[in-house]
Amino acid sequence: MHFCGPAGFDDAVLLKSDGLATYHLASVVDDHLMGITHVLRGEEWLVSTPKHRALFNAFGWQAPEYAHLPLLMNPDGSKLSKRNRDGPVQAYVDAGYLPQALVNYAALLGWHPGGEDEVLTLRELERSFSLTRLSRAKSVVSRDRLDWLNRQHLRRALTDPDAAHALSFQAAREVAGRMSAATNAESKIDPDGVLHALRMCADRLTFTHELFDAAPYLFVHPDLASAAATSTIAKVPPELRLPLLQAAAAALVDDKPASAEAWTGFAKQVAHAASAQPKHAMLALRFALTGQASGPKIPELLAFFPPAETRQRIARAIESLSQ
C-alpha cells in the first residue's frame, strides 16, 4: 500500500500538556529501543502507519516492516473487544482448552498454512508461517472450530508420554473432585487408571474434565435400575440374561489383569457357553459393566477393570436380575 506523504495525514499530537507521550510517539520509541523488525497489528492501525513511518524517518531510525491483520469478529458480526470482556485468554485456559490448541487456533485467525492439515504444533507453525498467506477477510472467532482443534490436540497429547503424564494427573484431580462432591467424602484416583480411561474415551472428549460425565461407570458402579441400563438389558431375550451373566462369571478364572487383545474372544466364549448370540453376550456384559448400551469396546472395558472389580459388577448384575 502506498501513502501520499506527510501531507496525507493530520498534525498529530505527540506529547500531551502533562509531558506524557501519546501512543504514536511512545510506540515508535518503544519499537526502536526493543529492536522490533516486524509489526503485525490490527487493520484499524493502518491509517496511522504514515505517521509512524514519518516519526522513524525524523529520528533517523530504520522503520520496521508493517503488516495489518483483519479484525477478529464475534459470530454476531460485532468486533471482538477487550472492553466488552470478549475472549480473554485466561478464560479459555480456565475452561480447559489446551495451550497448544489455543496457539494453533490463534494462528489460523486470518492466516492459512496452505495445506489441508490445520492441526499444527508451534514448531510446525514456525516452519510454515508466511505473511503472504494472510487473509484480507475478517475472521470470525468460532468456538466450534476451537473445540474441534482441542479434541485433535487432546488425542495427540495422549500419545505423547510427557504430555499424557501431565494430563493424567490433571484429569485425576478433576475426577476426584466430581466423586468427592457426589459422595461427600474425599476420593483418591490413580492417575495411571485415569490415563487409561482418557485413551479409551478420547474420541468422545473435548476436555479432560468431561471424562467423568462421559464415562462415570469407569469410576463408580453403574445404576442398574436406570433407564439406560434397563433399556440395554431389554435387548437381550429374558431367558438368556441370567445364563449369559452366569457364564461370564464362570469364565473369569484368571485373577491377573490382561490386555484388551487377550479379552477379544471373551464375549464369543460366553455366548457359546450360554447357547446365545455374541451380540446378546456383549449387551449383557455392557449392562453389568457400564449400565449403558454404548461406550468403549468390551475387551477394553475388561482390560480396564481389575478382575475382582469385573467379578463384582457381574455379581451385582446377576443379583439385580434375580430380584
Helices (H), the chain: 23-33, 49-59, 89-94, 99-108, 122-128, 143-157, 161-183, 191-201, 211-214, 227-233, 238-251, 266-273, 278-289, 298-304, 307-322
82 catalytic? Reply is: yes
**Rg of the Cα atoms in the chain:** 30
* Long-range CB pairs of 13-16, under 8 A, 24+ apart, other chains included: 14/55
Give the span between the Cα atoms of 251 and 281, in whole angstroms.
12
DSSP per position, 3-70: ---GGGS-----B-TTSPBPHHHHHHHHHHHTT--EEEEEGGGGGGHHHHHHHHHHHT-PPPEEEEEP
16, 79, 82, 297: which one is catalytic? 82
| Residue whose C-alpha cell reads 482443534 in the numeric block | 149
Q: Which residues are catalytic?
A: 82
